[in-house]
Structure 1
Amino acid sequence: MRGALALLLAASMTCGAATPSQAQTVPIPKPAPKGRDMQISASEPQRTPMTTGATQTVPPNPVIPDPRRNLPANIFATFDATQKAQAAKVSSYLSSLQTLVGNFVQVGPDGSKTKGDFYIQKPGKVRFEYDAPSPIAIIADGSSLAVRDTKLATQDIYPLSQTPLRFLLSDRIDLLKDTNVVSVTADDVFISVTIEEKQALIGTSRLMLMIGARDGQLKQWTVTDPQGYDTTVAVYNLDSSRKVDPGLFKIDFTNYSVPPG
């Protein structure tokens, strides 16, 4: 696994040389297993739900994209009326959210699975807490994002503007106007929108958002880093009415060292 959710939130920055603490916090992923199932089964027992006022469910099975899939460089000009309407539906849903609390299941590039809780307060604030024994926490305060390792008492800081999940944290967004959408697809289960980002010195990364076709709720996302590795996060037990403690999004620069450079 590529260093927990650090890959998701800083995928566009992981191709450079890592500092010693980064090497521990964001390890290089193992090659994706050949012929692995396209869907990971959830064999763990149901965890105690974190949220209140939400429908409680067992952890979902993240739908793993086919690693052999190919996307065109840009098909914006070919989007038909139905695709534009689907993208507008996703944009409207994302823009309607102000807070969101829930649980997540993450599947790394090597098929490893981890769980945890997440908190979102828009614009720009998010916190991901991983279940033990993982020491990782991800915190964004609106301008910066910290990848914290409580065991090593270190954290890596990134500009929030350079992380692919900033689209989820935008107060208002029109995906077709504000991002480089390269794919819009839909079936009976999901509406999927894929956003592509190209950076000259780093490479191309992608973010695929998947919304429930029936209930219009966020189901999962997949980040493909510039090396072609996928990390998928499925979310559940969602609660958009719960008030979130603002202190959850405070980055502690006192008790955690910041690696040089």
Structure 2
Amino acid sequence: MTSTPTLRVKAAMLTLSGCVALAAPLAAQPLQIQPPKPVAAKPAAARALPLPPVRPANLGLPRFAEASATQATSGGNAAATATDTTRPAATPARAKVAAPATREEAIERLNAYLNSFSSLQGNFIQHAADGRRLEGRIYIQRPGKMRFEYEPPATIEVIADGSSVAVRDKRLATQDIYSLGQTPLKFLVRERMDLAREGTITGAAVDGDVLTLRLEDRTTLGGTSKITLKFDLAANVLRQWVVVDPQGYETAVSLYNLDTQRRPDAKNFVIDYQRKL
């Protein structure tokens, strides 16, 4: 029988303050009455989109990028840097891009990106609700096909063939099949994307170059899933999604090295329904 933690992992794949009042004792002093101070009128609050959580400094970047940035800011040896081929070249300054002014404009900006490609492949870093960090490759071929290929020591792979999603666990020798329509990430493989029709949009915000869009999907397995998308406006690329499943478990996936030009091998999306692991 599959253990409860394993079921939570599979579901995730498809998917401070306290106040303390301190009062000092009052010293015996003569009572002095001061005239009330005039209250300054508060300035009118500027209309702005609510800010999302602070963006991680290394969102969507390879693991060695942080070390590269540290060396650049500390004034390392220029000659050594020029001959070091283990780190990527310095990224040029990015041009400022006008942020969407309304929620509707934000949705359309993200829709336009998601509809701009039919194939996608690249790397991902996944942080699960139990604190585990997993890495691997993602492949998408629209409509309906997707594959998450995890690096060891992970033993799970997720494959969508257009109608179903298979979650395989090599260690437990299991293969569970779900309907594609029950998974919270089905929007990634739609032939034509319209986020406003995928679920209920609950929020849109801009922080720097990052557009954050939040929605709820009530058609996922087990109940309502909450999905947050983080889109890099300057680079025009999806950087991260966060899924909170109906049980409240959160899974965050960051993307990098994305390629929308090469078509993935069709063998990546084949489910052997008779396969026994």
Scaled by the length of structure 2, the TM-score of the pair is 0.65
Equivalent-residue separation in structure 2 for 1:131 and 1:89 (angstroms): 33
Equivalent-residue separation in structure 2 for 1:140 and 1:101 (angstroms): 14
Equivalent-residue separation in structure 2 for 1:57 and 1:235 (angstroms): 17
Q: What amino acid maps onto 1:227 in structure 2?
A: Q
Which residue number in structure 1 is paired with residue 184 of structure 2? 164
Equivalent-residue separation in structure 1 for 2:220 and 2:260 (angstroms): 37
Q: Which structure 2 residues correspond to residues 131-150 of structure 1 after superposition, within 5 A? A: 131-150=151-170
Give the secondary-structure state (helix, strand or coil) at the position aligned to 2:264: coil
Alignment equivalent of 2:136, drawn from 93, 96, 116: 116
Give the secondary-structure state (helix, strand or coil) at the position aligned to 1:96: coil
Q: Which structure 2 residues correspond to residues 1-261 of structure 1 after superposition, within 5 A? A: 20-21=1-2, 23=4, 25-27=6-8, 39=56, 82-198=102-218, 202-256=222-276
List alignment gaps of at least 5 residues for structure 1.
Answer: 1-19, 47-55, 59-79
Equivalent-residue separation in structure 1 for 2:140 and 2:221 (angstroms): 30
Answer yes or no: is the 8 Å Cα contact 2:205–2:213 preserved in 1. yes
% identical aligned pairs: 39
Deviates more, 1:122-131 or 1:106-115: 106-115
Equivalent-residue separation in structure 1 for 2:172 and 2:138 (angstroms): 22
In structure 2, the CA distance between the partners of 1:39 and 1:93, relative to structure 1 (3 Å rule), is: closer
Measured after TM superposition, the shift of residue 82 of structure 1 is 2.0
Give the secondary-structure state (helix, strand or coil) at the position aligned to 1:21: coil
In structure 2, the CA distance between the partners of 1:85 and 1:39, relative to structure 1 (3 Å rule), is: closer
Measured after TM superposition, the shift of residue 192 of structure 1 is 1.3
Answer yes or no: is the 8 Å Cα contact 2:242–2:251 preserved in 1. yes
Q: What amino acid maps onto 1:255 in structure 2?
A: R
Q: What amino acid maps onto 1:26 in structure 2?
A: L
Give the secondary-structure state (helix, strand or coil) at the position aligned to 2:115: helix
Equivalent-residue separation in structure 1 for 2:141 and 2:221 (angstroms): 31
Equivalent-residue separation in structure 1 for 2:200 and 2:118 (angstroms): 23
In structure 2, the CA distance between the partners of 1:201 and 1:127, relative to structure 1 (3 Å rule), is: closer
Measured after TM superposition, the shift of residue 210 of structure 1 is 1.1
Deviates more, 1:131-140 or 1:176-185: 176-185
Equivalent-residue separation in structure 2 for 1:112 and 1:93 (angstroms): 30
Give a deviation string over 1:180-209, Cα, whole Å, max 9, x none: 211111121311111102369933211111
Deviates more, 1:120-129 or 1:174-183: 174-183
In structure 2, the CA distance between the partners of 1:24 and 1:176, relative to structure 1 (3 Å rule), is: closer
Measured after TM superposition, the shift of residue 39 of structure 1 is 4.8
Answer yes or no: is the 8 Å Cα contact 2:199–2:218 preserved in 1. no
In structure 2, the CA distance between the partners of 1:197 and 1:120, relative to structure 1 (3 Å rule), is: same
Corresponding residue pairs, total: 203
In structure 2, the CA distance between the partners of 1:237 and 1:81, relative to structure 1 (3 Å rule), is: closer
Measured after TM superposition, the shift of residue 44 of structure 1 is 5.2
In structure 2, the CA distance between the partners of 1:148 and 1:92, relative to structure 1 (3 Å rule), is: same
Which residue number in structure 2 is paired with residue 63 of structure 1? none
Equivalent-residue separation in structure 2 for 1:200 and 1:220 (angstroms): 20
Answer yes or no: is the 8 Å Cα contact 1:57–1:237 preserved in 2. no
Give a deviation string over 1:5-32, Cα, whole Å, max 9, x none: xxxxxxxxxxxxxxx2374743479xxx
The structure number with the bigger radius of gyration is 2
List alignment gaps of at least 5 residues for structure 2.
Answer: 11-15, 18-53, 66-86, 90-99
Give a deviation string over 1:14-58, Cα, whole Å, max 9, x none: xxxxxx2374743479xxxx99x9959799558xxxxxxxxx969
Scaled by the length of structure 1, the TM-score of the pair is 0.69
Q: What amino acid maps onto 1:132 in structure 2?
A: P
